[in-house]
Structure 1
Amino acid sequence: MRIAIVSAAADRHARQLAAAFGQRNVDTVAMRLSDILFDTGARHGLILPQFGEELPDAVCLRTMDGGTFEGVTRRLAVLHALRAMGVLVSNDARAVEICTDKSATSFRLAAAGIPTPRSHAVETRHAAAAILRAAPCPLVLKPLFGAQGKGIRLIRHVEDLPEAEDVGGVYYLQELVDTRRDGAWQDYRLMVSRGRVVAAMMRRSASSFITNIKQGAAALPTGRDAVLEQLAVAAAQAVGADFCGIDLIRAADGTPFVIEVNSMPAWTGLEEATGLDIAAIRAGDLLAQLDRPIRRAG
């Protein structure tokens, strides 16, 4: 058995995954999506480095390469093609496409009846200003394709809205929910794998409403919360992800909301807060999915 670990870089998480599979006597091959070739003359129409015209038993997606719209589209097409040929791809392209686009995530969450702050995605500053004027609270402006808390801004006044070219031509706006407790903002990151919550932590920041670990928030252990766990599992199902990080909050009155779903989550903070081996959980759950027969084309 050989598993392709797809990652934009050989980061610590990718190395942890390789080690976790190795402990289960499974060989892994590290590769980038940008290195996988379409070739309609090849046996399967794809050529994977180190596999040639053969296919891996599964693809474990850690991260995707960035790039141009055309490049990213082609890389997603590679994931779609692998899945169409019966290869287990986790997470697959459909889940990645939904989770990478915050507006698509918000749409799926709301359509599934999962509580989530009201969100908007528009393409002009004029439309964004109209939404802001009608909003009952400040709005959070996030990059549509952003991660790790980068580029997030709090919008209180029309003057706070940047020009369209500064946000890639799309204003994704989400109502701000006040989650402060004892002078600090807080939220929760729950990791869902194969339909269950496998790890959870609280994130707290005394300096900013942005509670991402990469932005300086602290990762803290937290007890079990049945309501948040149920919402996290439902959110993973709504976006079609079998391994993902779910960001949730509780408002001042205790009302829970799902904020975002990350289909390519890091887990350093979770490991620090819980002491769990997330890579081992990930590897074990992916291999468990291979217990069922996989149909191969060709």
Structure 2
Amino acid sequence: MLTGWIVYNGHLPGDKFLDYAKWIRDAASRKEMEMDVYPNHHLLSLLGTGKSDIVEKDILPDFVVFGDKDILLARQFEQMGVPVFNSSFAIEACDHKGLMYQLLAQHSIPIPKTILGPKIFPGTKEIDAESFQNVCEQIGFPLIIKEAYGSFGEQVYLINSQEEMFDKLKEIQGKPFLFQEFISSSYGRDVRLNVVGNQVVTSMLRYADDDFRANVSAGGHMKPYEPSKQEKDLAIKASQAIGADFAGVDLLFGPNDEPIVCEINGNAHIRNIYNCTGVNVADDMINYIIEWFARKEDK
């Protein structure tokens, strides 16, 4: 019988991250699999010359479902030969939006026009305004500024003028960021598709009454959505581009309703989409892991 661990971040406020872990554990128990839930700070990485261990854990699981962004811990498991779903590479690619868009562009995935912000160290007294004229010329206003690290629609800003742009850059100074084309045809609405392996298992339309963001956690609404073949294929291709086993792919509606990838979430929470569609993505995730090990044994 396969055994697994589920890792979540124990220092984040609220219980949604622990809730995610428990949903995975419950899905595993329905398959008579034993899974233990751990906050990441209970799994400390121990390093020595030619040595990688987890402190006070002599017996390791067959696999780890990683519901966190503690990339070094995920990599520690991989170095010890434990398969991690999603891999440390996929976690990192989703965690830093700049890296994510670089990978999507490399794989010819349609994305909004994006300019990666230069690194500005904290404490810089003056931002070179001239260097950002190209942003205005290439993208125009309104535009989006995104901090490279952010979740649930937070750290995403709609900017309407050059003055607003410089005010926001001063406010987020020292944080990695990027500029992005604002897809006005998708104002306040997007589609979340949950991808497991090479299949879209469920999807929902998210929409907001008075916000350019459609995130449910930011006050948006949701309803079941039947994606087109084009939308499904794009979501799967985007997920594969960043090497994810499981992903929540958010698509925008382009000017002619053509799908455009907004973001990929490597740790997409699954309670909301269950409440919306009745599909428990955790069951599909566990089935995928079981099939992954079966394929490995057949080789």
**Range of TM-score over shorter length:** 0.7 to 0.9
Q: Does the Cα contact within 8 Å between 1:115 and 1:257 map onto a contact in 2?
A: yes
Secondary structure of 1:210's counterpart equals: coil
The aligned counterpart of 1:30 is 37
The aligned counterpart of 1:72 is none
Are 2:147 and 1:143 aligned? Answer: yes
Once the two structures are TM-superposed, the CA of residue 288 in structure 1 deviates from its matched residue by: 1.9
The aligned counterpart of 1:175 is 181
Q: Does the Cα contact within 8 Å between 1:44 and 1:53 map onto a contact in 2?
A: no
Secondary structure of 2:178's counterpart equals: strand
Partners of 2:251 and 2:116 in 1: CA distance: 20
User: Quick check: 191-200 or 277-286, which moved more?
Assistant: 277-286
Q: Deviations over 1:3-41 (max 9, x none)?
A: 010011462221111111111111111112332233346
Partners of 1:221 and 1:104 in 2: CA distance: 30
| Pick aligned residue for 1:18 from 19, 25, 28 | 25
Q: 1:55 to 1:48 in 2, by over 3 A?
A: farther
Partners of 2:115 and 2:255 in 1: CA distance: 23
Once the two structures are TM-superposed, the CA of residue 283 in structure 1 deviates from its matched residue by: 1.7
The aligned counterpart of 2:123 is none
Q: Does the Cα contact within 8 Å between 1:219 and 1:272 map onto a contact in 2?
A: no
Partners of 1:187 and 1:119 in 2: CA distance: 18
The aligned counterpart of 1:278 is 281
Q: Does the Cα contact within 8 Å between 1:200 and 1:222 map onto a contact in 2?
A: yes
Q: 1:11 to 1:188 in 2, by over 3 A?
A: same
Secondary structure of 2:90's counterpart equals: helix
Partners of 1:30 and 1:169 in 2: CA distance: 32
Q: Does the Cα contact within 8 Å between 1:213 and 1:219 map onto a contact in 2?
A: yes
Give the partner amino acid of 1:139.
Answer: L
| Pick aligned residue for 1:84 from 76, 79, 83 | 79
| Pick aligned residue for 2:293 from 287, 290, 294 | 290
Q: How does 1:43-58 map to 2 (within 5 A)?
A: 45-47=52-54, 52-58=57-63
Q: 1:135 to 1:39 in 2, by over 3 A?
A: closer
The aligned counterpart of 2:157 is 153
Secondary structure of 1:291's counterpart equals: helix
Q: 1:131 to 1:20 in 2, by over 3 A?
A: same
Secondary structure of 2:185's counterpart equals: coil
Q: Does the Cα contact within 8 Å between 2:149 and 2:176 map onto a contact in 1?
A: no
Partners of 1:87 and 1:200 in 2: CA distance: 31
Q: 1:41 to 1:146 in 2, by over 3 A?
A: closer
Q: Deviations over 1:222-268 (max 9, x none)?
A: 11310010000000111000101001011231222111111011123
Give the partner amino acid of 2:85.
Answer: S
The aligned counterpart of 2:13 is none
Are 2:98 and 1:103 aligned? Answer: yes
Number of residues of Structure 1 aligned to a counterpart in Structure 2: 279
| Pick aligned residue for 1:94 from 79, 89, 92 | 89
The aligned counterpart of 1:166 is 172
Are 2:265 and 1:262 aligned? Answer: yes
Once the two structures are TM-superposed, the CA of residue 78 in structure 1 deviates from its matched residue by: 2.6
% identity of equivalent residues: 25
Partners of 1:21 and 1:128 in 2: CA distance: 50
Secondary structure of 1:55's counterpart equals: coil
The aligned counterpart of 1:250 is 253
Give the partner amino acid of 1:59.
Answer: V
Partners of 2:133 and 2:210 in 1: CA distance: 27
Q: Does the Cα contact within 8 Å between 1:109 and 1:238 map onto a contact in 2?
A: yes
Normalised by the size of structure 2, how large is the TM-score?
0.86
Give the partner amino acid of 2:34.
Answer: D
Are 2:111 and 1:116 aligned? Answer: yes
Relative contact order, higher structure (CA 8 A, sep 6+): 1
Q: Does the Cα contact within 8 Å between 1:3 and 1:27 map onto a contact in 2?
A: yes
Secondary structure of 1:11's counterpart equals: helix
| Pick aligned residue for 1:239 from 238, 242, 252 | 242
Partners of 1:187 and 1:76 in 2: CA distance: 28
Q: Does the Cα contact within 8 Å between 2:53 and 2:80 map onto a contact in 1?
A: no
Q: 1:274 to 1:288 in 2, by over 3 A?
A: same
Secondary structure of 1:229's counterpart equals: helix
Once the two structures are TM-superposed, the CA of residue 172 in structure 1 deviates from its matched residue by: 1.1
Q: Does the Cα contact within 8 Å between 2:3 and 2:62 map onto a contact in 1?
A: yes
Normalised by the size of structure 1, how large is the TM-score?
0.86
The aligned counterpart of 1:67 is none
Secondary structure of 2:294's counterpart equals: coil
| Pick aligned residue for 1:60 from 58, 65, 70 | 65
Once the two structures are TM-superposed, the CA of residue 130 in structure 1 deviates from its matched residue by: 3.6
